[in-house]
Amino acid sequence: MSKQLKNANLGNRQAIFDEINALLEASNDIDETRAKKVRKALDALRSATGETADGEEHREADIQLDANIDAGLETLRARIHKQVERRKRDYEKALKLIDELETALKNDELQKAERANNRLLSLMGNVPGPSEQRWKDIEKRLQGVRPQLRKLESWRHWGTTQVRQDLINQIVLLKDSGMQPEKLAKQIQKARDQWHAWDKSGDHAGKELWKTFDQACKEAYKPCTAHFEKLKKRRAENLSQRQAIIDALNTRFATTDWKQPDWRDIDRFVSHARRDFHKTGTIDFRHRKPVARALDEVIGKFEEHLSRERSHSSRVREKLISDIEALGEVANLHDALDQLEVLKKQWKITVVGKRDHENKLWKRFQSACDITYRRRDEERKEQAAERNENLKQKQALIDELAQTAAACDGELLANTSTLARIQGRWEEIGRVPREREKSLNSRWQEEQKHFRNALKAAESRAHASALDNLAKRAALCNHWEQAILAGSVIDTGTVTSEWNALPELSNASAAVMNQRFTQVLTRPDDATLSRNLADKQAACLKIEVLLELESPEEYQAERMAYQIERLNASMKMGQSAQDSPEDLLLTALTIGAVPADTADAIEQRIKKCLARYKEKPWSKQSFRQGRPD
């Protein structure tokens, strides 16, 4: 093949390829007629050229061009196939729509009929080349129903005109209705939308009717104009407030010393600014995005610093939680509680994080504290159990002391050390529940006082009994002594039996009284009688002074001398050297026989002293002062 022929063949193939690309690049449907011509031209070109006569191979560029042509033809064939399929679907839709149109007109359903008619016209306008016979049949059927459609539309126009007039009347009534501006504006807009909906349905109103409606809407809308102007002014004020907040944020950021910032105050300031920004109310839509961006920008600058401090604050508190959890390993609970109180005071939030994160941290902090508090509560339970047990033991001691105080004199006097023993045990027992401590101590003091009083009363009764026993023995001795002085014979066995029948004496009085008893059957000499009488008279005189009894007239001088002696002694030696009435009574009762002519008188004086002494308890200290308590 000649070079000139090859170049012509290449140019034809390139032209076919360009035509294929032009068909594929078309925005509308592919021109199927042109596509057929391209296909025929390519077939003719390939039939004419055939194989090369000299057997030389195509160049690589020719091979690539043929491949591109084949690929373009394949794409063209696929798109044409889709066009054909779409036309089939459109035809089926058209058949369905014409059926719907005819059915709607038969049932006088104008709205459905118009909808089907509009969709059908739109579909037929988009179908290329609807000159096919089947589309002509659809067009013929459409022309057949149009007179009926126009008739129904004319009826609707008449009815719609009446409805439009009613709508105008309703708008006129809205003018003086006093309706709230927002609601009034919605009603007017709703009426306008209805008017336009009627227009879109194909039933257009006359120009004059439209002007009447439009003027009525404008008159009714006048109250809304003033109201919405106020809203516009308010939105402008809100915009100014939001801008002021942004300016305040920018100023605060510029004036903050970021080397030593007050994090809590800054975080609070930013949080309040963000809150106030969103509480200012709405602004015009055109300003929303710019103002929001400005707010985000300045808060973003704060967040560069706050986020770092927020992370640092979170790490510090997590470390604090770990330290508190470690207190569970501290053996001494008191030390653990002291350390816990110190650590709790370190819980500080400089910059608040997200609510979920803060809540989790706080719950972990509370749980860590509860570890030590649960130990404290368990120890308190143990202490409460121990104190309740101590309460029972102390109550038992009080009951024991009360029972001892209520015992008979002999048992009580045999247990004089009970109080000391119980007091020692009381001190050994630990503390009792605080709410019971006051009442328990009050009862304890009362029972101690009751025991001392009971013991004192028992001792007083025992002392009185011993004194009576001593007086009875002294009376027997005096009786026997006077009998001996009178020369009577006394049976020693009878005397001993009668003496032993009396209760035994105790303490020092037993020895001196028994000594008098051993001498009772032996007649003393006159010197002994005189000496005994003098000793008894001296003892009685002192007792009478001490017990404030009258002394016989003949002893007034001795009484006065004794009183002076006592006064001098008290001034020189103190009260410890004073005579004891009890010792004097023991002396008077244990001294032996006296002359018979003085026996009755001295015995009467001793009895008076004894009766006086037994009237009430006299203490040694009060006797030494010369007066009873």
Q: pLDDT band at 617, cuts 50/70/90?
A: low
CA distances from 185 to 39, 218, 222 (A): 65, 11, 10
Q: pLDDT band at 449, cuts 50/70/90?
A: very high
Cα(629)–Cα(627) distance, integer angstroms: 7
Mean pLDDT calculated for residue range 32-37: 77
Cα(184)–Cα(68) distance, integer angstroms: 67
Residue 203 has pLDDT above 70, yes or no: no
* Domain spans, the chain: 3-130, 157-233, 456-625
pLDDT of residue 109: 67
Q: pLDDT band at 484, cuts 50/70/90?
A: confident
Which of 88-102, 258-272, 305-319 has the least mean pLDDT? 88-102
Cα(527)–Cα(97) distance, integer angstroms: 172
Mean pLDDT calculated for residue range 448-474: 85
Cα(448)–Cα(455) distance, integer angstroms: 10
3-state secondary structure of 261: coil
Amino acid, single-letter form, for residue 48: A
Helix, strand and coil in the chain, % to nearest 5:
80, 0, 20
Q: pLDDT band at 359, cuts 50/70/90?
A: very high
Q: pLDDT band at 55, cuts 50/70/90?
A: very low
pLDDT of residue 535: 92
Residue from 543, 524, 547, 548 nearest 602 by CA: 543
**Model-wide pTM > 0.85:** no
Do residues 103 and 149 lie in contact, with contact meaning Cβ atoms separated by under 8 Å? no
How many CB atoms are located within 10 Å of the residue 412 CB?
A: 20
Residue 2 has pLDDT above 80, yes or no: no
Provide the mean pLDDT of the chain.
81
The region that residue 506 occupies, defined by phi over 0 for left and psi between -120 and 50 for alpha, beta otherwise, is beta
Q: pLDDT band at 176, cuts 50/70/90?
A: confident
Mean pLDDT calculated for residue range 426-445: 90
State the DSSP string of 567-601.
HHHHHHH-GGGS--HHHHHHHHHHS----HHHHHH
